[in-house]
């Protein structure tokens, strides 16, 4: 089971599933407590980390986080699902973390692989918040005291004995002008492969001002930088898409793209699995596949990768939203640098004749 947590963010909790080994239908195990006889928990950080045990403590479903908190979520509606409050040390390193719980009667071992990633910064939202804050700026119409006023460029003082008749040589900017000035100052020019400072405060549009400052970047980076982790495929059409940049893939020994209905599905139950070395491996939960698929690395230094699905392949996939990720095997271990949602939609036009 694989989950994502945020590097450096404390007080994180996850849900996990405990299998009942006495069940012949894969049912969940109810009734586990933090102090059930034999139950134990441990974690290991990174490929070379030391296995470290940690104590489980009592918890309630809706209570605030407490390190090692462990409680059953709902024994009837979500049988076998438990909340675990992760120790803060687990998210203290940007790496993958393995968490292991076992030991109680009829409890199948629970193995969690946690990818600890930095929190993504939403540049546009930050700019928007800055703009909103700037819109509230006001300027005083009068000056309370003349004591500390000295000769300065741009300020006209008619008298130095009172606070009347002061004026600015140049009118201050309006609040809307300030808001415009702080928003949207950077954009990716995919055609020129440059990250540009835009003097006109427009994004992905014709720039009339002179651009003095820019940084040249690889074309794969420029293309993928404007793509989100949302992939949309039209059933029955060929799909070719540049995946979000993954970082260096140099020296990799494996690269696999997988899409599933839920993260708990087995790889053999995947709706789609494609490897760089072997192409289309799984389609609709079967190794008997239709059509072709390719995962091709266009720039190993930046981690630029293209995914291609043939029309025959997409034609067999049910219309639904699926979870996807792309995993790579490097000398440092297994990493899952990108993930998102794959939406398969139907075509609206039924005939072109």
Per-residue confidence (pLDDT) for residue 7, from 0 to 100: 83
Report the alpha-carbon distance of residue 25 to residue 150 in Å, rounded: 85
Question: How distant, in Å, are the alpha carbons of 121, 182, 183, 272 from that of 134?
Answer: 20, 8, 10, 47
Q: What is the pLDDT of residue 163?
A: 56
pLDDT, residue 176, reads 67
pLDDT at 182: 45
The predicted-structure confidence for 93-106, as pLDDT tens digits, reads as follows 888 899 999 999 99
> What pLDDT, on the 0 to 100 scale, is given for residue 121?
57
- pLDDT value at residue 203: 47
In the chain, count H helices and then E strands. Answer: 4, 23
pLDDT for position 255: 97
Burial class (CB in 10 A: 0-12, 13-18, 19+), 331: exposed
| pLDDT score recorded for residue 161 | 59
pLDDT at 205: 47
Question: Starting from the edge strand earliest in sequence, which strands make up the sheet with 78-85, in order?
Answer: 13-17, 78-85, 69-74, 57-58
Sheet of strand 304-309: strand arrangement: 239-242, 304-309, 293-299
Which residues, given as ranges, of the chain have pLDDT below 70?
1, 120-166, 176-228, 353
- Determine the pLDDT at residue 194: 58
Is residue 220 within a helix (H) or strand (E), and if so which, with residue range? Answer: helix 219-224
The full set of domains in the chain, from first to last, is 2-117 (2.60.40), 122-139+161-181 (no CATH), 184-217 (no CATH), 224-345 (2.60.40.10)
The pLDDT of residue 320: 95
């Amino acid at each position: 089971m694989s989950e994502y947590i945020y590097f450096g963010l404390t007080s994180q909790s996850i849900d996990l599933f405990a299998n009942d080994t006495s069940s012949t239908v894969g049912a969940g195990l109810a009734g586990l407590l933090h102090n059930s006889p034999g139950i134990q928990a441990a974690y290991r950080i990174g490929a070379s980390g030391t296995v470290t045990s940690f104590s489980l403590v009592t918890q309630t479903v809706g209570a605030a986080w407490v390190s090692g908190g462990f409680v059953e979520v709902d024994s009837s509606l979500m049988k076998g699902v438990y909340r675990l409050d992760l120790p803060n040390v687990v998210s203290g390193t940007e790496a993958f973390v393995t968490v292991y719980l076992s030991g109680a009667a009829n409890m199948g071992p629970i193995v969690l692989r946690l990818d600890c990633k930095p929190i993504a910064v939403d540049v546009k939202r930050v700019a928007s918040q800055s703009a909103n804050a700037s819109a509230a700026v006001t300027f005083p119409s009068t000056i309370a005291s003349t004591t500390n006023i000295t000769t300065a460029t741009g300020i006209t003082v008619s008298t130095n004995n009172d606070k009347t008749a002061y004026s600015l040589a140049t009118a201050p900017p309006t609040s809307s002008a300030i808001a415009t000035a702080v928003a949207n100052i950077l954009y990716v020019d995919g055609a020129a492969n440059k990250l540009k400072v835009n003097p006109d405060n427009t994004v992905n549009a014709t720039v009339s001002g002179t651009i003095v400052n820019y940084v040249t970047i690889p074309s794969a980076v420029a293309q993928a930088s404007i793509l989100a982790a949302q992939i949309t495929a039209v059933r029955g059409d060929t799909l070719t898409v540049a995946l979000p940049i993954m970082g260096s893939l140099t020296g990799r020994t494996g690269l696999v793209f997988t899409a599933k209905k839920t993260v708990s599905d087995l790889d053999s139950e995947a709706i789609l699995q494609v490897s760089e070395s072997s192409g289309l491996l799984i389609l609709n939960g079967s190794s008997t596949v239709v059509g072709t698929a390719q995962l091709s690395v266009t720039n190993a230094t930046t981690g630029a990768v293209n995914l291609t699905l043939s029309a025959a392949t997409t034609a067999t996939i049910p219309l639904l939203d699926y979870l996807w990720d792309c995993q790579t095997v490097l000398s440092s271990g297994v990493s899952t640098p990108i993930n998102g949602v794959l939406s398969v939609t139907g075509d609206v036009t039924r005939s072109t004749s």
